[in-house]
Amino acid sequence: MKRNNKHRILENVLVEDYAAEGKSLARIDGKVIFIENAVPGDIVDVRLSKSKKDWAEGKAINFRQYASNRVTPFCEHFGVCGGCQWQMLPYEQQLGFKQKQVMDNLQRIGKVALPPFEPILGATDTRYYRNKIEYTFGNKRYLLPEEVGDPNLSAFQDVAGYHVKGLFDKIVDIRKCHLQAEPTNGIRLALKDYAISHNLSFYDIRNHVGFMRNVQIRYCRSGELMVNVIFGSEDEAQRVPMLDYLLELFPSITTLLYTINTKWNDSLFDLSPEIYHGKGHVIETLEDFQFKIGPKSFFQTNTGQGERLYQVTREYADLTGNEIVYDLYCGTGSIGLFVSRQARKVIGVELISEAIEDAKENAFLNNIHHAEFYAGDVIKICDDAFFSKHGRPDVIITDPPRAGMHEKLVEKILEIAAPTVVYVSCNPATQARDLNLLDAKYEVTRIRPVDMFPHTHHIENVAQLKLRG
C-alpha cells in the first residue's frame, strides 16, 4: 500500500470486509477506510473523499486485482446507473452478507440476547422483481468516463433513464433495465423516440423547463399495467397524440394517466394524476387478497417477496383467531388485512391520510369488516384513550420507516405490554436500537431476514418479541 497524499489516493488497498450501506472496508494503520464499489478480496486504488482521524471514505477508482468470487454483471449499465451495486456478487453471497449484516447490527447495536437466526429468505426471482419503476427524462446525458473530453460529444442530449447518484442534473440513458418485466423498457424507449421525432423538449432540471419529465410504470402480477406520464407543462395538442400512440403500441396498458408537474420537485403527492384511459388504478394480489393501487398509493415494490415477508410476519404473530392486532405504520393496511383472517380485530395506524383511505377501500374490496384504520402520527394516536377504546393489544405489528420507531412509541409499547410484538424493519441499525430499548420487557424469540431487493444492499428483517413472564 502506497499513499499519494497530493491527490488523496491510496494505492494497492486490499479490501477486507463488507461495511454498511453497500460499502466495503479496509483497515490501514488502525484507520478504517470505507470504500464504494469494491468487494472484499479486491485490490484497489481508492480516491478519498473524506478523511478523519479514525476513518476515511472514498471510491475504488482502479482495480489492480479482482476478488476471485466476482461474477460478470448481467447489466450493461452496471457501475454507471448505481441501481444494483452488487451484481458482481453471486446471489448466494449477497444473501450471506445481508444475513451477516443483520446479525452484526443486532449484536453490536442491539446488545440483547438473540435466538438463532432463521435462514434469510432469498428471492425466487432476482430480476424483473419490481412492480413499480420511475424513469426520468432529461436534456443532459451522463457521459461515461471514456466519453468525457471527446470534442464531438455534447452532454446535451435528450435521454430517458435514471438520475446519476450525486449528480442531480445528469441522466443515465438506459437501454435496458432488468428490474421490471417488459414492456417497461419498450414503453420508456417508445416515449423517448416519439418525443425526439416530434421535437418535444426534455426536462431541463436546472432551468425547470421542458415537456417530457417522468414516467411511472406499475406492472402487477395480476397482469394489470398502469402508466403515468408526467409532463413539465400542459400542452394538450402534443399530449393527446402521444398518449394515443402509446396506447396503440402497447394494448396491454390497462390504465393510462398523465400528470402535469410544474413544481421544482418530482414528488407526486400534491399533484393530480388525470385518467386518460382505463379505471385509474391497478389491482395487485397477495395470496388471494386484492389490493387497489392508484398512481399515488404505497405498495411493497416486490410483490413476490412482499407476500413472503407478510407470511413470515403472520407466522410470527402466532394468531389463533382471538387476538386484537394493532398494525402500526400500516401504510395501505396490507399487513393488517393479510393477517386479519386469523385475528379477532385489526386496528391500523398510519400518518398519510390517503393511505388510510386506500386501506379502508382494500378492507372493503376483500370483504373484511373487522379491520379499522386511523390516520395520524402513531405517537399522537396511540394513547391510553385509543387503546382503551379499541382494546388492549394482544399483538402489535410495527413496520416503521428507516428511522425506526419514535422513542415515545417504544415507551408506550413497554407500558401497554402486548404479549407479542412483531417488528418488521427495513433498517437493521435502527431496529437494533429499538430492540435494545424494548429489552426492558421483551425477549427476542425469532428472527428472519427477507430479501426484497436482490443486487442491492437493502434488507428487510422480521423479529418476534415476547413479553417476559
Residues that bind ligand SAH (CB under 6 A): 298, 300, 329-331, 334-335, 349-352, 355, 377-378, 399, 401
Q: Which is nearer to ligand SAH, 60 or 421 (CB)?
A: 421
Residue 220 CB, shortest distance to ligand SAH, in Å, is 15
Give the integer Cα–Cα distance in Å for 105 and 19.
11
C-alpha distances in Å from residue 176, one per residue of 113, 161, 220, 401, 463: 46, 9, 19, 30, 37
Q: Which is nearer to ligand SAH, 42 or 399 (CB)?
A: 399
Q: Which is nearer to ligand SAH, 177 or 330 (CB)?
A: 330
Say whether 380 sits in a helix, a strand or coil: helix
C-alpha distances in Å from residue 369, one per residue of 319, 361, 386: 18, 11, 19
User: CB-based burial of residue 4 (10 Å sphere; 0-12 exposed, 13-18 middle, 19+ buried)?
Assistant: exposed
Closest CA to 451 of 24, 129, 219: 129
Q: Which is nearer to ligand SAH, 193 or 287 (CB)?
A: 287
Residue 371 CB, shortest distance to ligand SAH, in Å, is 13
Helices (H) then strands (E): counts for the chain: 10, 23
Q: Which is nearer to ligand SAH, 93 or 456 (CB)?
A: 456
Give the strand order in the sheet containing 345-350: 371-375, 345-350, 324-328, 395-398, 420-425, 460-467, 442-450
- Contact call for residues 105 and 98 (beta carbons, < 8 A): no
Has 426 been annotated as catalytic?
yes
Give the integer Cα–Cα distance in Å for 40 and 42.
6
Closest CA to 125 of 377, 385, 365, 304: 304
Q: Which is nearer to ligand SAH, 87 or 297 (CB)?
A: 297
Q: Which residue is nearest to ligand SAH (CB)?
A: 331
Q: Which is nearer to ligand SAH, 191 or 286 (CB)?
A: 286
φ/ψ of 192, rounded to 5, equals -65, -50
Residue 355 CB, shortest distance to ligand SAH, in Å, is 6
Residue 267 CB, shortest distance to ligand SAH, in Å, is 13
Residue 303 CB, shortest distance to ligand SAH, in Å, is 12
- Contact call for residues 10 and 45 (beta carbons, < 8 A): yes
Residue 286's DSSP bridge partners are: 289
Residue 294 CB, shortest distance to ligand SAH, in Å, is 14
Query: For residue 33, is it left (φ>0), alpha (ψ between -120 and 50) or beta?
Result: beta
Q: Which is nearer to ligand SAH, 334 or 427 (CB)?
A: 334
| C-alpha cell at position 92 | 448466494
Pairing mode of beta strands 2-4, 9-14: antiparallel
Residue 410 CB, shortest distance to ligand SAH, in Å, is 13
User: CB-based burial of residue 417 (10 Å sphere; 0-12 exposed, 13-18 middle, 19+ buried)?
Assistant: middle
Residue 166 CB, shortest distance to ligand SAH, in Å, is 25
Say whether 27 sits in a helix, a strand or coil: strand
- Identified catalytic residue from 84, 177, 330, 426: 426
Task: Tell me which residues are annotated as active site.
Answer: 426
